[in-house]
Structure 1
Amino acid sequence: MGMNDQKKILLDNKGVDELTSTVADWMQSSGIKGISLTRARITVETVVLALSEHTGGSLDVFVSMKRFLGTNTLYVRYEGESYNPLKDEVSDEWTSTILSTVAVTPSWRYKDGINELSIRIPRKRIKDEMILLGSAVLAVILGALGNVLPEQTVNILSDFVLEPIETVFINLLGTFAGTLVFLALVSGICGMGNVSELSKVGKYVTGRYLVMSFVCAGIMGAAMIPFFSFVWGTKQTSSQLDKLFKMIVDIVPPNPVKPFMEGNMLQIVFMALIIGAALLMLGNKVSVLQTGILQASSVYMRIMEMICRIMPLYIVASLTLLFWSNGFSIFKTIWKPIVYSMILANLIMFGKIFIASVRYKTSPFLLIKKVIPTYLIGLTTASSIAALSPALDICENRFGISRQLGRFSFPIGALLYGGTTSGGYIAIIYYLAEAEGISVDAGWFIMAWLFITIVSLTLPPVSGGTLIGLGVILAQFSIPSTNLGIAGTLTLIIDFLVTSAKVGMMPVEIANQAAHLDELDVEVMRRK
């Protein structure tokens, strides 16, 4: 039986096994293997078991799998009353919407007497780090060819091929980034439930993420200062503090359109917080609008994923232009922000794990072993959201965190936990300030810490999301726009390294939250 055929199955115990095996066979025939196959099979089995238990094993379901644009989607349809088997697996519609845009998490709908479950299964593709490596190697080859190609040829390639690619990619990010950040924050606030919930669990969780982001960024920023050769000034502190004060005042936009036209992330965040809070207070009165925002956020997230698929072209273009303009001598110093941010981000992660092991009286090596799956996903995708499915399993089954808190906290943390990302940005700004000979002082470092951390909190948790804040940050610190190519390339590389540390330590951070809220089973955490 082919994967495009529809199969009728009686959903008793035998039928559950038959359905799961059939789906696994379909996926294997499509070239889906490894973790994608395992996660999809577990997801399918969990959902159909819930459906079988609800109906007493007497329900006939119709199963099919369709392929569109290289992506497989499994459909399970059944007639009768409206029943969502995901309601016990997903805490709310907001979390369900976020989950359905990534990995293999199912979504449900009911129309014309038919219940439909759909599960999008990621297509098999080359790993992101291999694409990144291949792009960098190609750029090095093209950079070397610049020394032997005629100058006229190099100029033509620069003006009509490489620079347009670089410009188009950055412009595409800028076109959709502001709206994506706005929708993500508004939908995140709406997902907190109600005002009383926000004032309790939601307020504590979001507040802790924000505090930890500033602390983590501050530690990384301070630790890196001795490793860069700055031009120290003596008369800039007041001007930098004036800039900081002006930045705070300018957070309030003069009109609702200007922030999106100018890509002012801080003003966009301010508007999102105000509108999100208003929607939260109105509750069910604006449920249709809330649902629309959730769906729009999913659309924009998918658009951003599509844009980031052309990231390899941007890497090739920006690195090649960098080599042609500066030569390969750039390698003498370009390693500094990469190595320092990687080392410090991982030291913070290991430090957090060690402190947790002492607090909960367990082995740090055991905790490291438990978080390795999310760490590796972050390292290979540079996306917090990509680690969502295994992270939820780790939080509940390996750390003893309550299901409700894990499913609430991790998506929030993916958006708001920006400490290591901020540290990566700070390393890049330090490097560019050193290269450009920009005068710095204590006020400059305080400004870098506060401004970069705030901007980092607004970035979408997808591969390439950190590129969105580049223009804002470079302009704030008077770094020439000619550095955009090297800054973008560094951002893409560092994004993989700091995201891995971020998602690696998030289960530990959520465990600390759970301990405070009395929703942690320490015995599960200690279990091997």
Structure 2
Amino acid sequence: MILGIITGVGLGTDAVILKPIGSLFINAIKMLIVPLVFCSLVVGVSSMQDTNKMGRMGLKTLVAYLVTTAIAISLGLLMGYILEPGAGMNLITQEEIVTKDAPSLINTIVDLVPQNPVQAMAAGDILQIIVFALALGVSLTLIGKKGKPAVAVLTSLAEAMYKLTGIVMLFAPFGVFGLMAWVAGSYGLEVLLPLMKVVVAVYIACALHGYGFYGLIITLIGKLNSLRFFKTIVDAQVIAFTTSSSAGTLPVSLRCSERLGASRGASSFILPLGATINMDGTAIYQGVTALFIAQAFGVDLGTSDYLTIIATSTLASIGTAGVPGAGLIMLTLVLTTVGLPMEGVALIAGIDRILDMARTTVNITGDIMVTTLVARSEGELDMDIYNGHKKPTITH
């Protein structure tokens, strides 16, 4: 990563020639997502004979994701309020920028159930794939012995996908180098300096949330060694930082979660949900950038506006795709709800990739943290593996 940054700064815009190396790596990671999520989720659900346990895990996961997201957006607003990144810019609204209306909550819920599961897989619609996989996993469990042959086939495919993940990860250093060189060359100091306060505010807030807040939760609530946790998930954090994709990092997150001792069933059930509905880093980004735009255009926000931003960001995170640039789309929704100038999006767009790297890292850290805590609460966390007394039984 460091070598890529140095190379990118040295080559400047010519560093674009190294982007295909990173693109190949991202494509290889994305190739794994649909079959890995589907197979591992079906196998994970079907392995849980206790449907009540699965229901408890689902509820705990959803509550944890929404609560941490609300705290994250609050932290982002606080950081924007303290650092005032947009103060003194005195920008004037020039024109209306037309944006698409965000889908309603009802439509989002209705769209969770795929009309055609195969089409959902072809389109890479993770939420619809999750719903279908959950339903199929439960059904295979309910039909007993008749479902075992199908589970055996999917288990074999899941194992093959885990192995393929390990093979793809052998090329991670090259992919990370190519991506970082391209980012550093394309988004040089001339782009960063004018908006450096926004970048600094987002990165500080992400560091506080990702290491401070999560570390406290792991230590106080999970009664676990937080240093062990952060050391084990470095692989996933590096991939998230360079690819800016929660969904793209999912295969690596699954591997890190199992290295922490979480059962494959718990990891396969919780992490895919997190990749689509847990957006703590994106929520931080919404808070900082919304206040930046308000300050830059001289718009005063009241208490109701702050509460609206918190509620909108938290709920919108459920339907936001875990892919690069999704946060910028979500930002337009937040700005619309509180009446902030849409021209502010153009300001943020220039540095969005730099911000996306930090927020995605927080997103996947939160995914693995919630997986670890929920697994521990349900007896699905092997403490010997977590504490390093025993090696995880994984083949990749």
TM-score (norm 1): 0.48
The question of 1:412 aligning with 2:238 is answered no
State, as a whole percentage, how many aligned pairs show the same letter.
Answer: 18
Deviating more after overlay: 352-361 vs 445-454: 352-361
- Which of 83, 94, 115 is the matching residue for 1:227? 83
Deviations 1:12-38 (A, max 9, x none): xxxxxxxxxxxxxxxxxxx999x96xx
The question of 1:463 aligning with 2:324 is answered yes
Task: Quote the offset at 1:464 in angstroms.
Answer: 1.6
**1:32 and 1:348 mapped to 2: Cα distance?**
32
- Superposed counterparts of 1:103-502, under 5 Å: 199-228=55-84, 263-267=100-104, 269-274=105-110, 276=112, 279=113, 289-298=115-124, 331-332=193-194, 334-351=195-212, 352-357=214-219, 363-396=225-258, 398-502=259-363
Deviations 1:218-266 (A, max 9, x none): 23323432221889xxxxxxxxxxxxxxxxxxxxxxxxxxxxx973324
Q: Aligned to 2:252, what secondary structure does the other structure show? A: helix
- Which of 485, 510, 520 is the matching residue for 2:371? 510
Task: Quote the offset at 1:384 in angstroms.
Answer: 0.7
- Using a 3 Å threshold, how does the CA distance of structure 1 residues 289 and 195 change in structure 2: closer, same or farther? farther
- Which of 41, 59, 79 is the matching residue for 1:91? 41
- Using a 3 Å threshold, how does the CA distance of structure 1 residues 414 and 363 change in structure 2: closer, same or farther? same
**2:50 and 2:101 mapped to 1: Cα distance?**
29
Q: Say if 1:381 and 1:463, in contact at 8 Å, map to a contact too.
A: yes
**2:111 and 2:373 mapped to 1: Cα distance?**
30
Task: Quote the offset at 1:193 in angstroms.
Answer: 12
**2:320 and 2:241 mapped to 1: Cα distance?**
18
5+ residue gaps, structure 1 = 1-30, 37-69, 75-84, 96-191, 232-260, 280-287, 302-314
Task: Write 1 or 2 for the structure with the bigger share of strand.
Answer: 1
- Using a 3 Å threshold, how does the CA distance of structure 1 residues 359 and 433 change in structure 2: closer, same or farther? closer
Q: Say if 1:428 and 1:490, in contact at 8 Å, map to a contact too.
A: no
**1:449 and 1:433 mapped to 2: Cα distance?**
15
Q: Say if 1:371 and 1:505, in contact at 8 Å, map to a contact too.
A: no
Task: Quote the offset at 1:469 in angstroms.
Answer: 2.2
5+ residue gaps, structure 2 = 1-19, 88-97, 128-182, 390-396
Task: Quote the offset at 1:348 in angstroms.
Answer: 1.4
Q: Say if 1:379 and 1:499, in contact at 8 Å, map to a contact too.
A: yes
Q: Say if 1:353 and 1:505, in contact at 8 Å, map to a contact too.
A: no
Task: Quote the offset at 1:435 in angstroms.
Answer: 0.9
**1:201 and 1:300 mapped to 2: Cα distance?**
19
The question of 1:526 aligning with 2:361 is answered no
Q: Say if 1:378 and 1:499, in contact at 8 Å, map to a contact too.
A: yes
Deviating more after overlay: 460-469 vs 470-479: 470-479
Which residue type is aligned with residue 300 of structure 2?
A: S
Q: Aligned to 2:384, what secondary structure does the other structure show? A: helix
- Using a 3 Å threshold, how does the CA distance of structure 1 residues 410 and 454 change in structure 2: closer, same or farther? same
Q: Which has the larger radius of gyration?
A: 1
Task: Quote the offset at 1:388 in angstroms.
Answer: 1.2
Deviations 1:311-349 (A, max 9, x none): xxxx9xx999xx9xxxx79945x2222111111111112
Q: Say if 2:219 and 2:226, in contact at 8 Å, map to a contact too.
A: yes
Q: Say if 2:222 and 2:376, in contact at 8 Å, map to a contact too.
A: no
- Using a 3 Å threshold, how does the CA distance of structure 1 residues 264 and 370 change in structure 2: closer, same or farther? same
- Aligned counterpart, 2:135: none
**2:209 and 2:102 mapped to 1: Cα distance?**
27
- Using a 3 Å threshold, how does the CA distance of structure 1 residues 197 and 483 change in structure 2: closer, same or farther? same
Task: Write 1 or 2 for the structure with the bigger share of helix.
Answer: 2
**1:440 and 1:72 mapped to 2: Cα distance?**
42
Q: Say if 1:319 and 1:486, in contact at 8 Å, map to a contact too.
A: no
- Using a 3 Å threshold, how does the CA distance of structure 1 residues 229 and 205 change in structure 2: closer, same or farther? closer
Q: Say if 1:424 and 1:491, in contact at 8 Å, map to a contact too.
A: no
Which residue type is aligned with residue 222 of structure 1?
A: L
**1:73 and 1:359 mapped to 2: Cα distance?**
34
Which residue type is aligned with residue 436 of structure 1?
A: F
Deviations 1:248-290 (A, max 9, x none): xxxxxxxxxxxxx9733241x42131454xx5xxxxxxxx945
